Structure 1
Amino acid sequence: MKPKVVIYKKIPQEVLSYIKQYCRVSYYEHLESWSNPEFLNDLKDAHGMLGSGMSINKKLLDRAPQLKIVCNASVGYNNFDMDELTLRGIMATNTPDVLTDTTADTIFGLLLSAARRICEMDRYVKDGKWNRLIGEDLFGIDVHHKVLGIIGMGRIGTAIAKRANLGFDMEILYHNRSRNENAEKLYGAKKTELDDLLSKSDFVCLMTPLTEETKNLISYREFEIMKKNAIFINGSRGETVNEKALVKALTTRQIAGAGLDVYKEEPINPNHPLLKLNNTVTLPHMGSATAETRTKMAFLAAENMVRGLSGETPPSLINTTLLSAR
């Protein structure tokens, strides 16, 4: 009998058809809560799960005793209790690489929008306020030949460095646990301590994964170190930033502006003070949101699922320590 999988995220029909060739599928296109009785019943004999965002923790895993693999259709996997999954011998996978360039495009676009006040000026024109040459109060900030500091020089951080250095002649500083020799060689990136990066950068781009060490990595002290004309970009996870500290830095003009694609609470509360600030560009966590990329992500998640359940090594296995136990 084919293994049973539970899909709790809308995926393209062609991806769903691919999975059905190899698995029995319980498909929840719009699952509002994992406490849904039908969903919980399906977990009892599920061998695999595919989706994103849902917290895969001990409480849920206790309801899925036959589970062999969980597949995130995203690059991030902070929703996984990795210790618990590995302890139970359950494979965990994600979808890196396929979204690198698309996300880098979004983040650099966010940087440009914040620097040149593009969203604000769009509203200015559409609201009928453009009736004369704009004055200095509406001027933006140059991006070219400036210093970009990237915190977290992984795949996406490197792709951002490429766009910044080769496209805009920007000097690249980066802070990372290990050296990124490729970024150093190709884009002249310089590895620095965090405080040096913060004090020297005209743009600070946060791209680190969310871990216990990176929670509130950027807070009151870090914003105080930044230049007064610096622009802060967050394309990582909302919890890597103390949002109260960010609001203070923006409202007091401790920094010049911000561009955000992620928030501590998502969707963000409509009354959140960040949404009231003209010097902040806010996006709805859309870094990888193109049809082409989301389809590639879904196919990679599906391939991880199918190969994992067939006894092969999934292409994007996270807890690789399980390989030695096979």
Structure 2
Amino acid sequence: MQQTGHVLWKCLVGGAKKWKQGSLEKTILINNQPVTLSATMVERKEDYYLIEFNWSAEHLHFADILHAAGSLPLPPYLNRQVEEEDKTRYQTIYARHDGSVAAPTAGLHFTQQLLQQLQQKNIQQHFVTLHVGAGTFKPVKAAVMQEHEMHAEFIEIQAAFISQLIQQLQSGQPVIAVGTTSLRTIESLYWIGVNIGQQQQQQTAVTVNLSQWDAYELPQNIPATEALTTLLHWMQEQKTEILFAKTQIIIAPGYSLRIAQGLVTNFHQPQSTLLLLVAAIIGNDWRTVYQYALEHEFRFLSYGDGSLLWKKE
């Protein structure tokens, strides 16, 4: 985002079949000065396109170019142009950093007034930094789940949050994740802790990134507080207050939640990893829940209705 003059990015391209060859150009105004932006398709991949962007005002950062040339990435199924109110409506009230390709939509249901009401009921609120990746839009096309390649996402977690999680679990109070990405994040913290503990026992180099099947292949009997404490101690040894990691774990039927007991989420589309996650949490009841939503004309997806789902024992 801070590069100047040109960048190379993995991109999703709408109507790519019409883009035969050559560069596309667009003139934009930045500080009332015309800037020429060009996009050249370098390579076509199975799930994305490799695009090179160049711009005439070489002192400008790519972030400056995006803010001037881009528009809010509304979900395509809305079939409409961006409206002014989308800048606040399609954004969580607690967003702080650039980095996501989409808003974590479960958070769109929360207002300042609602957060205050939760505080009045002694419901604690904790925040994590999530960078939602483009893979969240990737449908499950494989005939069986094991053949689907799960997307990876970056997470950024404060040590203080991990301490708060440990206290919450020790007190017996339920942990509720707001959004599937938040759920995947806090569950990943458990597996990162388990992975670190195993690597330390084997005296191998510690890595914190998780691959797709780690949650099914790592030891399954480690208590949640023990795994999180292992992670916290490792961070203290590294003298870091922030954990940067990448997680690719897939949460699907057969997975047992280790930290969260519930999930606030929207209603998801068929053949998606998000629906697999819902089925993992509430079991076969997901069919009953979704049938009820269809019969009562609930709204699905990003601007849709929300739900609170509890872990099925």
Shared fold, TM over 0.5: no
The higher relative CO (CA closer than 8 Å, separation ≥ 6) is in: 1
TM-score (norm 1): 0.29
Q: Higher strand proportion, which one?
A: 2
